[in-house]
Amino acid sequence: MMLKDNIEAATGDPAGIERLFREAQAEGVEIAFREALRECAGERPDDVLLEAWLHRLDLPVRAVSHPAGQDRRWWTVIGASVLLGIGSALLSRGKLPAPIPGEADALFWVGWGPLVALGLLAYLAHSRRSGDVRMRYGIAAAAVVLVALYTGLTMGDRADDAGFLAAIHNLFICWAAVGTALCLCSPDPARQVYAFLVKSVEIVLTGGIFFGAGLMFVGLTYGIFSVLGIELPEENLRLVAAWGVGAIPLLAIGSVYDAASSPVAQDWRAGLTRTLRTLARLLLPLALGVLLVYVLWFIPVYFRQPFEEREVLIVYNVTIMAVMVLLAVVASGSLDEQLARQKSPLRYGVMGLGGLTLILNVYALAAVAARTVEFGLSPNRFAVLGWNVTTLLILGFVGVRLWRARRQLWMTVFRESIGRVVPLAAIWALLLLIALPLFG
C-alpha cells in the first residue's frame, strides 16, 4: 500500500499518523512520507490535523485557490506578457527575433534572455509576499543584469563560434538564476532543484505549443490576405514574431506553474507533467535499445569516426543531453512505492540507461580530448570538454548514490542526487561565459 493511502486511512487518527511517521523514519523514507503528506494536505485543505503536520515538518502550506484570485493572477500574467512582448519587439529592431549572433540584432540576442528572466522574477516576486523571498528574487535579478552587461560588453558584436556559445549560455545562466531564486533557502533544496528541472521541461514544451499555435495563426492570416491580394510587409511579421517570443515564456509559466508554491509543491498529477512522465517511461526501453546499439556495435565497428568526423561527435553529445533529460523526467511525479522499491524494473532501467550513457560520455570525452590535442583548443572544443566532464560527474555521482542506496526508496535518492549535483552545470556555464572573450 502506498504511503499516501496509509495517511489517508489514518486521517483523523493522530496516533496513526505519528506511527506512520516513525515507521517512515525507521525505514529511511521520511522524504517520501513528507511528499505523501503534502499531497494529502493539498487534497484536504480543511483537515486541521494534516495542516498541523505540515507546520510540524516545516512544509509549505498550499493556499486554497479562489476564482477571484485566479482571475487576478491571469490578468497579471497577461499584462506582464504584453509588456515583455513589447520589450522583445523593441530589442529586435526589425531583424530576425532569434538569440543568434549574425542573424538577429546584437541587442536582441544579448538582451532577450535577461529581459524574459527579469519579467519572470518580477512575476514570481509579486506572487510571493515574503520579504526574504523577494530579496532572493532581487539578488537573482541583479545577477541577471550583471551577466547581460558582461555578455553585451565582451561578446555583443561577435558572430563567430564564441558569440554563438555566449548566446546559448547567456540563456542558460538566466534560467539558472531563476531556478536559484526559487530553490535557494527552501526546505529540501535538492528536491526543489529536481522539481524545478522537471517543471522547466514542461514549461519549454508548453511554450513550444503556444509558439506553434501562434505561427499557425500568423500563417493563416498571411494566407488570407494573400488571397485578397494584400501583401503584408515582412518587417511586420518579424515584429509579431519578436513580440511572441517575448510574451510566450511568461504565458507558459502562468499555464503550468503555481507561482505561490515552491517547485516541489506543484501539482504533479495533471497537465503535461503527467504526459511527459508517461512518455519518458515508454521511451526508456527504446533509449536503452539505441544506446546498446551504440555501445555494442557502432562504437567497436566505427571506433575512429568521432575522432575524425565532427558531425558524429555532435550526434553523440546531443544523444547524451537528450538521455539526461529523459532520465530526469522518468522519475518525476507522485512517489509510487511500488515503482520506488529497490527491485522495481524502472530502477534497473534507469541504472542501465545511466550506465550506458556514462560509457558513451567517456567515449565522447576521449574523442573531443584527442581532437583538442590534434587541432588545438577552440571555443567549441573548450565548451564540449567542459560539458562532457560535467555530465560525467553528474552521471557518476547519481550512479554511485543509487548503487549504495539500500533501505531507502531509490526514486527518492535519485531525485535528491540530481538536485545536489546539477548546479555543476550552471557553474560550468558561468565559467565558460566568462572565459569565452579570451578566444579572439
DSSP state of 439: -
Partners of 104 in the β-ladder: 101
- Give me the mean pLDDT over the 3-25 stretch: 78
In this predicted model, what pLDDT tens digit does every residue of 194-235 receive, in sequence order? Answer: 989 999 999 999 999 998 888 888 888 888 888 877 777 878
The residue type of 412 is T
Q: Domain map of the chain by residue range?
A: 3-56, 68-256, 271-438
Which CB contacts under 8 angstroms, 24+ apart, belong to 126-132? 126/76, 126/259, 127/73, 127/259, 127/260, 128/259, 128/260, 132/185
CB 256 within 8 A of CB 206: yes
In this predicted model, what pLDDT tens digit does every residue of 329-358 receive, in sequence order? Answer: 988 876 655 555 656 788 889 999 999 999
C-alpha–C-alpha distance, residues 155 and 147, integer Å: 11
How many Cβ atoms sit within 10 Å of the Cβ of residue 338? 9
User: Nearest CA to 126 among 86, 80, 183?
Assistant: 80
pLDDT at 223: 82
pLDDT at 68: 47
In this predicted model, what pLDDT tens digit does every residue of 356-392 receive, in sequence order? Answer: 999 999 999 999 999 999 999 999 999 999 999 999 9
| Range of lowest pLDDT (6-15, 55-64, 85-94) | 55-64
Q: What are phi and psi of 104, to 5 degrees?
A: -110, 165
pLDDT at 60: 59
C-alpha–C-alpha distance, residues 57 and 38, integer Å: 10
% of the chain exceeding 70 in pLDDT: 88
Angle at 306 between CA 302 and CA 308, to 5 degrees: 95
CB 203 within 8 A of CB 195: no
DSSP state of 333: S
pLDDT at 65: 46
C-alpha–C-alpha distance, residues 327 and 427, integer Å: 21
In this predicted model, what pLDDT tens digit does every residue of 28-85 receive, in sequence order? Answer: 667 667 777 777 777 676 677 888 888 777 665 554 444 445 556 788 888 899 999 9
Helix (H, G, I), strand (E, B) or coil at 187: coil
**Which position has the higher pLDDT, 139 or 1?**
139
Q: Which residue has the cell 503527467?
A: 274
Please check the confidence at residue 88 and state whether its pLDDT lies above 80: yes
> CA dist 424 to 18, 197, 419, Å?
38, 14, 10
C-alpha–C-alpha distance, residues 206 and 17, integer Å: 38
CB 416 within 8 A of CB 31: yes
Mean pLDDT of the chain: 85
User: Nearest CA to 307 among 359, 380, 367, 365?
Assistant: 367
The residue type of 86 is I
Q: What pTM does this model have?
A: 0.83
pLDDT at 97: 85
DSSP state of 101: B
In this predicted model, what pLDDT tens digit does every residue of 301-322 receive, in sequence order? Answer: 989 998 988 898 999 999 999 9
How many Cβ atoms sit within 10 Å of the Cβ of residue 141? 20
> CA dist 202 to 163, 207, 408, Å?
28, 9, 28
Q: Which residue has the cell 497579471?
A: 76
Please check the confidence at residue 324 and state whether its pLDDT lies above 90: yes
| Range of lowest pLDDT (10-19, 117-126, 309-318) | 10-19
C-alpha–C-alpha distance, residues 305 and 113, integer Å: 36
Locate all alpha helices (DSSP H) within 93-188, ordered by sequence: 106-127, 131-155, 161-183
HSE, side-chain direction, 13 A CA sphere, residue 334? 17
